[in-house]
């Protein structure tokens, strides 16, 4: 039996199409903002999830979280019923929904990264194909300023090292013991969530 998470060469299989919109959002009412995101998701078919940019170390972190969430859903192993929440669980490297939700946005003028993804081809997701162009345009319209789908690993807004270390429990000792940096350790926690199941 082949692993649907790897391609014929043993490399990670490509996940669903993902777009990221990073920028500043003026969130006067969190419930209203989340309702706007839900409306965009309903109109475009996209899975839409907003993250506090201070806690996102790279675009790779979010893209990998979407890929692993899609795989969990396809395998019938998802913890959350909502694909956006499943993505957040992977991004947090945690199986605790309350903890993962702390990666989300809050009220005020905030830097955020909004992930848009198409789960239309993900078996078990019961979703139709998404219009990521329309979803991206609608998210940019909500932003004070934004950059669409950053190139490479950078997301266009910096993360807060202190908050990231606290959220992910990264110690000085752990950082000193690795050849990587903080972003590498966070991406490792995203990838290792499957091992913890």
Question: What is the rounded distance in angstroms from the CA atom of residue 146 to the CA atom of residue 125?
Answer: 29
Tell me the pLDDT of the chain (197 aa) as tens digits: 334 444 444 445 568 999 999 999 999 999 999 999 999 999 999 999 999 999 999 999 999 999 999 999 999 999 999 999 999 999 999 999 999 999 999 999 999 999 999 999 998 888 989 999 999 999 999 999 877 665 566 676 689 999 999 999 999 999 889 888 999 999 898 888 875 55
Phi, psi torsion values for 114, nearest 5 degrees: -105, 120
Within its chain, how far is the Cα of 17 from the centroid?
12
Sheet containing 47-52, strands listed edge to edge, beginning at the edge strand earlier in sequence = 47-52, 108-117, 18-27, 145-148
List the beta bridge partners of residue 27: 108
């Amino acid at each position: 039996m082949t692993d649907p998470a790897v391609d014929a060469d043993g490399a990670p299989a490509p996940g669903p199409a993902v777009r990221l919109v990073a920028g500043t959002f003026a969130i006067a009412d969190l419930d209203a903002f989340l309702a706007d995101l839900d409306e965009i998701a309903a109109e475009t078919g996209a899975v839409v999830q907003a993250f506090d940019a201070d806690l996102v170390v790279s675009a790779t972190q979010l893209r990998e979280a979407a890929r692993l969430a899609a795989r969990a859903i396809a395998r019938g192993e998802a913890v959350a019923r909502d694909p956006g929440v499943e993505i957040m669980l992977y991004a947090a490297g945690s199986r605790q929904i309350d903890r993962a939700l702390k990666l989300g946005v809050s009220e005020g003028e905030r830097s955020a990264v909004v992930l848009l993804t198409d789960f239309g081809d993900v078996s078990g997701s019961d979703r139709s194909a998404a219009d990521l162009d329309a979803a991206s345009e609608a998210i940019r319209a909500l932003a004070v300023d934004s950059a669409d789908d950053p190139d490479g690993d950078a997301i266009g807004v910096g993360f807060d090292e202190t908050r990231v270390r606290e959220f992910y429990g990264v110690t000085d000792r752990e950082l000193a013991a690795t050849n990587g940096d903080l972003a590498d350790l966070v991406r490792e926690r995203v990838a290792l969530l499957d091992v913890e199941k």
